[in-house]
Amino acid sequence: MAPDLDEDAKRLAELGDKQELERTWSGFSNFAISFSIISILSGCFTTFGQAWQNGGPVAITWGWPVIADQNGLVLVKLRLFWTSLWTFGIYPTTNQAIRQDLQSNPGEQSLFAMSLDNGSVPFISNIGNGGWGDQDYLPMGPQPVVKLFPDGKEVVYTVGRGGGSDGITPDARWDSLFVEMMLNSNTVPGYAAGEVRFIYYNHKVLSDEQPFVSMAGDYLLGGHWMAGMALKITDRSDWRGAWDFASRIAAIDVPHFVESEAAISTCLFSSSHYCNQYLMEDIDTRTYPPGFYIYYGAGKVYESYWSSYSTWVESNGLILFRSNSGAIVALEHGSPQGNAPVSNSPDLTSADMGTVLNGVIDNPGAEDRVATGPQIIAYTEARDHVGEVKTVQGVVRFIFNNGKAFCLGFQNPHQGAFAALIPVTDLDQFPDKPENLYHLGDEVRITGKIVWYQGEPVIYASDPTQIELVK
């Protein structure tokens, strides 16, 4: 005989529980249960081809959603094409203008905040598209970071666009900056959900080189392909957030990172690897606030050991920085200068400085090697002959001029495959514009030393005799 249900109810009441049956699920419960029973592997494998073709390996690796549970939202970043960088020119500096542009051009919206209850999009996120890429290829941009404050308020920190971080914006590539985005209309008076507040950081943040964003307390950290950016937010009062420098959320620079400090900079080598002047990346010569370098006078280390980007991680109060070349550095509390001795570079003598300035030691993973095998090789074999002078043959599948170099790619997209790069400084050596000399479908032979560029084998062609059309 089945037990008396009333007796069951009494027993549950004794245990402090109430007998009830609900036939409804909340949106979050539905999401949690579905997520726990779906086979992640089967979902990955059945859609892998589509993701690879439309998003690429970067989107697969970093394109995970971010949850803002206090507001019941999931944040999803989309990968848009390189050309979207230029749609609006230099992005405007007011929330009203940014929203108007994105509302009238919904295809330019790159960050979506969706309800966990029903999947709706309750507001437009005022985040212009950006990412990190080169030569007509723009992988997915940085994922947002959700921060929960002790008072229960929740905001997003990410990289947005609008007039540029330092206000000097020759074109749309220079208009990015760090921002704080609202997730509702009650967090900061005068700011609606999706609107942004600009953060003070008076250094370049490029729209096609946007850093990955991490957060550790009040420290906002950016991982760039050759540097680690770091700032501490000191005042985010409600009145702050407008674009003009005096009104931005206040922040101060804290120690940055570069891969290799230039031996021609104001800092001599120190065993602490700390520079109390401005940091200068080797060969590239961009400058950053004082901080640490991993190498000194070692050239473009990242070109040879490219892992796409650097990143910061905070774990139990320990801050770790991983450089693009794969070096891992742990930061601890104390004086970065300490009693570390200062000297000339341990790697380069003063006689070597001229070769550094001339760019000879700019590709440390492509030292000269004696050529092996046939002189003419297929483009798919170029990676195995870095450091050798070879003639690489293939069919042109990709042509693009990014303003720094003219690219002849043997694969489209060219990422991961051999390419020939003609620096814009050498274009006057050619009888005509490269786009008039070389065309898609042409079979060509490129002769020169194979070196690394962002982890890919390339030959720099500074003279037209290096490029032969195969009849």
pLDDT digits (tens, 9 = 90+) for 390-449: 999 999 999 988 778 899 999 887 778 899 999 989 999 999 988 899 999 999 999 999
pLDDT of residue 414: 77
CB under 8 Å to 358, separation ≥6 — which residues? none
Looking at the fold, whether 188 and 327 belong to one and the same domain comes out as: yes
Looking at the fold, whether 240 and 102 belong to one and the same domain comes out as: yes
| Calpha distance 281→76 (Å, rounded) | 33
Residue 332 has pLDDT above 60, yes or no: yes
pLDDT of residue 44: 61
Whether 336 maps to a domain, the answer reads no
Whether 16 maps to a domain, the answer reads no
Looking at the fold, whether 322 and 384 belong to one and the same domain comes out as: no
pLDDT tier for residue 55 given thresholds of 50, 70 and 90: low
In sequence order, what E strands does 81-226 have? Answer: 111-115, 145-148, 154-161, 176-182, 196-198, 212-216, 219-223
Looking at the fold, whether 300 and 442 belong to one and the same domain comes out as: no
Domain stop point among 312, 331, 350: 331
Looking at the fold, whether 308 and 438 belong to one and the same domain comes out as: no
Domain stop point among 274, 298, 331: 331
Looking at the fold, whether 276 and 397 belong to one and the same domain comes out as: no
Total tally of structural domains belonging to the chain: 2
Distance of CA 320 to the CA centre of its chain: 17
Residue 353 has pLDDT above 60, yes or no: no
CATH number, domain of 397, equals: 2.40.50.140
Rounded alpha-carbon distances, angstroms, from residue 452 to 304, 305, 369, 389: 5, 9, 14, 13
Whether 349 maps to a domain, the answer reads no
| Calpha distance 308→418 (Å, rounded) | 17
Whether 20 maps to a domain, the answer reads no
How confident is the model over 234-260, as a mean pLDDT? 95
How confident is the model over 229-255, as a mean pLDDT? 96
First to last CA, the chain: 93
pLDDT of residue 39: 55
pLDDT of residue 111: 95
Structural domain that includes position 161: 28-331
pLDDT of residue 391: 96
pLDDT of residue 360: 37
Looking at the fold, whether 67 and 135 belong to one and the same domain comes out as: yes
Q: Cα angle vertex 63, ends 58, 65, to 5°? A: 170
Residue 352 has pLDDT above 80, yes or no: no
Whether 350 maps to a domain, the answer reads no
Structure tokens, 279:
């940091």
Task: Point out the least confidently predicted range of 35-39, 67-71, 85-89, 414-418.
Answer: 35-39
Looking at the fold, whether 299 and 381 belong to one and the same domain comes out as: no
Q: What is the β-pairing status of strands 250-253 and 256-261?
A: unpaired
Query: Which residues partner with 422 through β-bridges?
Result: 406
Task: Point out the least confidently predicted range of 291-305, 326-340, 425-439.
Answer: 326-340
Looking at the fold, whether 50 and 115 belong to one and the same domain comes out as: yes
pLDDT of residue 41: 56
pLDDT of residue 356: 38
Task: Point out the least confidently predicted range of 38-42, 173-177, 186-190.
Answer: 38-42
Residue 322 has pLDDT above 80, yes or no: yes
CB under 8 Å to 267, separation ≥6 — which residues? 261, 275, 276, 277, 279
How confident is the model over 333-355, as a mean pLDDT? 50
Query: Which residues partner with 222 through β-bridges?
Result: 213, 229
pLDDT of residue 54: 60
Query: Which residues partner with 314 through β-bridges?
Result: 319
Structure tokens, 322:
């991983």
Looking at the fold, whether 39 and 156 belong to one and the same domain comes out as: yes
pLDDT tier for residue 230 given thresholds of 50, 70 and 90: very high
Residue 112 has pLDDT above 70, yes or no: yes
| Calpha distance 439→443 (Å, rounded) | 9
Residue 346 has pLDDT above 50, yes or no: no
Residue with more model confidence, 447 or 11: 447
Looking at the fold, whether 151 and 269 belong to one and the same domain comes out as: yes
pLDDT tier for residue 252 given thresholds of 50, 70 and 90: very high
Structure tokens, 255:
């120690």
How confident is the model over 3-10, as a mean pLDDT? 68
pLDDT in tens, 72-85: 999 999 888 888 88
Looking at the fold, whether 326 and 415 belong to one and the same domain comes out as: no
b/e map of 138-165 (b: 16 or more CB within 10 Å)? bbbbbbbbbbeeeeebbbbbbbbbbbbb
Whether 17 maps to a domain, the answer reads no
Residue 9 has pLDDT above 90, yes or no: no
Query: Which residues partner with 73 through β-bridges?
Result: 68, 115
How confident is the model over 25-33, as a mean pLDDT? 72
Whether 459 maps to a domain, the answer reads yes
Cis peptide before 413 (omega within 30 of 0): yes
Task: Point out the least confidently predicted range of 154-158, 180-184, 257-261.
Answer: 257-261
Residue 298 has pLDDT above 70, yes or no: yes
pLDDT tier for residue 271 given thresholds of 50, 70 and 90: confident
Domain stop point among 331, 361, 388: 331
pLDDT of residue 349: 41
Structure tokens, 64:
């995970």
CB under 8 Å to 139, separation ≥6 — which residues? 56, 58, 59, 79, 131, 132, 133
In sequence order, what E strands does 366-442 have? Answer: 376-378, 389-395, 398-401, 405-409, 419-423
pLDDT tier for residue 29 given thresholds of 50, 70 and 90: confident
How confident is the model over 231-240, as a mean pLDDT? 97
| Calpha distance 383→372 (Å, rounded) | 13
- What pTM was computed for the model? 0.78
How confident is the model over 304-316, as a mean pLDDT? 87
Residue with more model confidence, 173 or 198: 198
Residue 363 has pLDDT above 80, yes or no: no
Sign of CA dihedral 403, 408, 414, 419: negative
Whether 326 maps to a domain, the answer reads yes
pLDDT of residue 4: 54
- Given a contact cutoff of 8 angstroms between Cβ atoms, the answer to whether 369 and 378 are in contact is no
Instruction: Give residue for tokens 């770790």.
Output: 320
How confident is the model over 367-389, as a mean pLDDT? 92
Residue 211 has pLDDT above 80, yes or no: yes
Q: Average pLDDT over the chain, rounded to whole?
A: 85
